[in-house]
Amino acid sequence: MPQKEYLGIDIGASGIKGAVVNIKKGTLTSERLRLATPSPSTPNEVAKVFAQLVKELKYKGKVIGVGFPSVVKKGVARTAANIHKDWIGTNIEKLFSKATGCEVFVRNDADVAGIAEMNYGAGANRKDTVLIVTIGSGLGSALFRNGHLIPNTEFGHFYLKGHNKVVEQFTSDGARKRQDLSWKEWASRFDRYLETVALLLSPDLIILGGGGSKKFDKFESYLSFKAVPIIPAELLNNAGIIGAAGYAYQMEKAVLNLDV
Ligand code: BGC
């Protein structure tokens, strides 16, 4: 009988957040802890903070799920846009397993946030094409059709006409803060982003996750893009933690629709 509670950890460019999750309900059963991502965010330094977080949460289980901000294939980081370049080629699962003595399963952070929303949140029971966009230090994406994830999409990394930087560099929440943009200014950039992804993917629903999901009311009225319904993540920025825990559960073989 698999355990019902798993530790989910969401690794971001500025914070490492974790909590124990009841995977039947998709709810947190422990406090949510956040430790700052070390700078420089090299693999060994992040692994130390990761182990400290697991210790502080007094997790009794043996399996941990993790969302990580890069393309992740078979537990190995393949890109590093907002995290130290030394991560490229690092086996994240092995590194964190060694640091904690637990079995660790890792996927892209936006993919696990999407897994949470599709199972417990705004995308539950949706069979059509759902795009989750996470707004944080970068722009993450997760694409679902009939509840199935197409992993490692990187829809924050294309170029818009007239720009020499990838779109997340001027449309993420990180860019808004760095450039001190008003919500109206930022929303006009995000509008262009939405128009482009909608043109390319024809989603039926767009769910906004990440830290930006908590600020939806600040920019919703400035968005002129109306072609596709846009809603904030129901699990707000806990989606990453909950989805990571759900993914760990799936890897131990369970019953949820987490076929990824
Ligand atoms: C990374 C993605 C990640 C997103 C959100 C991007 O810079 O390339 O893999 O999902 O940031 O953290």
Q: Note whether 105 and 76 are within 8 A (CB).
A: no
Report pLDDT for 218.
Answer: 96
Report pLDDT for 177.
Answer: 96
Would the pLDDT of 94 be above 60? yes
Q: Ligand 1 mean position to 116 CA, how many Å?
A: 17
Q: Strand 103-108 relative to strand 63-68: parallel, antiparallel, unpaired?
A: parallel
More confident of the two residues 21 and 251 = 21
Would the pLDDT of 259 be above 50? no
Q: Note whether 10 and 240 are within 8 A (CB).
A: yes
Overall average pLDDT of the 131-143 stretch:
97
Overall average pLDDT of the 65-81 stretch:
97
Q: Note whether 232 and 218 are within 8 A (CB).
A: no
> For residues 155 and 203, what is the distance between their CA atoms, to the nearest angstrom?
13
136 is written with which tokens?
């944080």
pLDDT in tens, 45-64: 999 999 999 999 999 999 99
Q: Which of 78, 168, 169 to mutate to test the pocket of ligand 1 (most atoms within 8 A of CB)?
A: 168
Overall average pLDDT of the 90-111 stretch:
98
> For residues 197 and 131, what is the distance between their CA atoms, to the nearest angstrom?
9
> For residues 194 and 199, what is the distance between their CA atoms, to the nearest angstrom?
8
pTM of the predicted model as reported, rounded to 2 decimal places: 0.95
Average pLDDT, the chain: 94
DSSP 210: S
Would the pLDDT of 117 be above 90? yes
**Confidence grade of residue 211 (pLDDT, cut at 50, 70, 90):** confident
> What residue's CA is closest to ligand 1, atom 4?
140
- For the chain, the maximum distance between any two Cα atoms, rounded to a whole number of angstroms, is 55
* Cα separations in angstroms, 111 against 10, 28, 222, 227: 11, 19, 27, 24
Q: Which residues line the pocket of ligand 1, CB cutoff 6 A?
A: 69-71, 79, 81-82, 108-110, 134, 136, 138, 140, 154, 156, 168
Percent of the chain's residues with pLDDT above 70 = 96
Domains of the chain: 5-112+238-256 (3.30.420.40), 125-234 (3.30.420.40)
Q: Ligand 1 mean position to 1 CA, how many Å?
A: 34
